[in-house]
Amino acid sequence: MNILVTGANGQLGNEMQLVARSSTDRYLFTDVCDGYEKLDITDLDAVRQYVKQHNIDATVNCAAWTNVDGAEDPSRFGLVEKLNATAPENLAIAMKE
């Protein structure tokens, strides 16, 4: 099974890397920071292409805006919405297709 893990550099993503070590499944770890394969999960076309190209069977979304105080800043509303609503929707759409 090919499993896409987004937000690989975060706390949950790092825990998923530990899980992957004892699994026979193939985990593909992505993030927007250096050291990981890049995938912009806010871009539906990019997600569709990645899922198709890598024959993804399951997705574990560990990417999110988790700074609650920072999320209340009106200048960040758009970014927070993209990361916490649009991105998971994109992953769901691509997997359903």
pLDDT at 44 (0 to 100): 98
Average pLDDT over the chain, rounded to an integer? 95
Model pLDDT for residues 10-46, shown as the tens digit of each residue: 999 999 999 999 999 999 999 998 999 999 999 999 9
The answer to whether 5 touches 27, Cβ cutoff 8 Å, is yes
Model pLDDT for residues 50-71, shown as the tens digit of each residue: 999 999 999 999 999 888 888 7
pLDDT at 56 (0 to 100): 98
Cα(70)–Cα(76) distance, integer angstroms: 7
